[in-house]
């Protein structure tokens, strides 16, 4: 396995060393702050010490698993608390590939770039399905590429980078396809609190031995650095996934688990609603300004990101650096997300300055 520095680190580093004021729209780090109960929970935990500082159960603190299970209406035996969604995806993909049920992982193009990387690491092969221009995934296109070699189907909803939210029919079909081909549907739903469309449907809605749901508190509680996520796995798969979790990480960090547990029980719906509303407003503001700039874009139904395309300006790393230096806006090259959006740039709306950013882009392209 060759080491490739992740593209977004390269862009962040470039932006950090650039001259002048740069508006950072590179990575999905929420800027709106965590619920107050999160820090309070961490303070409470810091006051314990002794046995409370020692190994939690490998699969996660019992109280946290029960809290998650009650909210998701599943049995707590199905819940594993993981080192963020990153580890949860790794456990699910590892399980899918180790069964002798095929070596292929089906994923969309554009793709969240960790999926192909994890597939390589786990010895699998990538199979891509192109999505519609607006990010919609047609299950019929998935049917065309699945075979007896399909071990795993990756779905991200709300989607990074397209902003698509897969509706109930799509999710039902994806579960059905996984069942028909003895594949595991891995539904990565870390942006589930940021659905602007009202159509988000979790794969948990469909009871099946062939779907794993991945989630995390990284985005919903604005704690990407804590590394606390979870997966919900069917009875046939939860044991081997716990085993892989234990053999990889032993357990998930206990301070983070304790803080999240406290924040989950103490935080009302207003916190989540406000953040979703703020983000929806930023989408309007940013896309309105993109209209003025003559850019093409995909208006997201959910998530943090807007994909935009400017005339004669492909979304290469070089052009991304150009925008940092000349427009003062740092985005992500579309080429970082597969081949389908190489002409595009991705902007994360995790800054209050989205209007200024769009204005800077408009000014830059007007002068060009």
Residues of span 62-121 touching its own copies by CB under 8 A: 83-84, 86-87, 90, 98, 114, 117-118, 121
Nearest partner of 333 among 341, 349, 318, 345, judged by Cα: 345
The phi and psi torsions of 11 (rounded to 5 degrees) equal -70, -40
Task: Give, for 285, the enclosing helix (H) or strand (E).
Answer: helix 269-292
DSSP letter at 110? S
Residue 271: alpha-carbon gap to chain centroid = 20
Residue from the set 10, 14, 18, 58 that interacts with its own copies by CB under 8 A: 58
User: Residue 89 corresponds to which tokens in the numbers above?
Assistant: 């995806």
Residue from the set 19, 20, 55, 270 that interacts with its own copies by CB under 8 A: 55
Q: What is the DSSP string of 145-209?
A: H--TTEEEEEEESS-TTT-----HHHHHHHHHHHHHTT-EEEEE-TTTT-BSSS----GGGS--T
Neighbours of 91 (CB within 10 A): 28
Q: Which is nearer to its own copies, 1 or 270 (CB)?
A: 1
User: Residue 290 corresponds to which tokens in the numbers above?
Assistant: 């993109």
Rounded to a whole number of angstroms, the minimum distance from the CB of residue 28 to its own copies is: 9
Residues of span 316-335 touching its own copies by CB under 8 A: none
Residue 254: alpha-carbon gap to chain centroid = 23
Q: Which is nearer to its own copies, 53 or 180 (CB)?
A: 53
Residue from the set 10, 14, 18, 29 that interacts with its own copies by CB under 8 A: 29
Rounded to a whole number of angstroms, the minimum distance from the CB of residue 1 to its own copies is: 5
Site string for its own copies, 234-273 (x = CB under 8 A): -----xx-xxx-xxxxxxxxxxx--x--------------
> What 3-state class would DSSP assign to 125?
strand
Q: Which is nearer to its own copies, 175 or 231 (CB)?
A: 231
Q: Which is nearer to its own copies, 250 or 366 (CB)?
A: 250
**Residue 126 touches its own copies, criterion: CB under 8 A:** no
Nearest partner of 319 among 335, 329, 333, judged by Cα: 333
Residues of span 291-320 touching its own copies by CB under 8 A: none
Contacts with its own copies by CB under 8 A lie at 1-4, 6, 9, 27, 29-31, 33-34, 38-39, 42-43, 45-47, 49-58, 83-84, 86-87, 90, 98, 114, 117-118, 121, 123, 222-228, 239-240, 242-244, 246-256, 259
């Amino acid at each position: 396995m060759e080491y490739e520095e992740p593209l977004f680190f390269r862009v962040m580093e470039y932006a950090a060393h650039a001259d002048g004021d740069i508006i950072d729209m590179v990575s999905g780090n929420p800027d709106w702050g965590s619920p107050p109960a999160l820090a309070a929970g961490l303070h409470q935990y810091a006051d314990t010490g002794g046995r409370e500082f020692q190994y939690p159960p490998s699969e996660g603190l019992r109280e946290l698993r029960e809290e998650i299970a009650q909210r998701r209406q599943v049995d707590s035996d199905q819940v594993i608390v993981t080192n963020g969604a990153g580890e949860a995806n790794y456990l699910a993909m590892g399980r899918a590939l180790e069964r002798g049920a095929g070596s292929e992982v089906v994923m969309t193009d554009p793709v969240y770039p960790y999926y192909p990387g994890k597939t390589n690491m786990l010895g699998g092969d990538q199979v891509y399905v192109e999505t519609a221009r607006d990010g919609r995934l047609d299950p019929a296109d998935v049917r065309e590429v699945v075979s007896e070699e399909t071990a795993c189907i990756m779905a991200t909803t709300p989607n990074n980078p397209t902003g698509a939210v897969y509706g109930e029919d799509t999710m039902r079909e994806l579960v059905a396809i996984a069942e028909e081909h003895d594949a595991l549907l891995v539904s990565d739903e870390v942006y589930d609190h940021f659905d602007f469309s009202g159509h988000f449907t979790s794969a948990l809605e469909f009871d099946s031995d062939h779907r794993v749901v991945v989630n995390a508190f990284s985005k919903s509680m604005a704690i990407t650095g804590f590394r606390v996520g979870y997966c919900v796995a069917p009875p046939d798969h939860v044991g081997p996934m716990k085993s892989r979790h234990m053999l990889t990480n032993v357990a998930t960090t206990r301070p983070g688990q304790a803080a999240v547990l406290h924040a989950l029980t103490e935080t009302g719906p207003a916190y989540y609603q406000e953040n979703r509303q703020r983000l929806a407003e930023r989408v309007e503001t940013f896309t309105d300004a993109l209209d003025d700039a003559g850019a093409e874009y995909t208006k997201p139904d959910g998530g943090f990101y807007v994909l935009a395309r400017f005339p004669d300006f492909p979304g290469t790393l070089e052009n991304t650096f150009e925008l940092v230096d000349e427009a003062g806006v740092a985005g992500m090259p579309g080429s970082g997300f597969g081949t389908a959006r190489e002409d595009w740039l991705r902007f994360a709306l995790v800054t209050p300055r989205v209007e200024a950013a769009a204005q800077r882009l408009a000014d830059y392209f007007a002068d060009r």
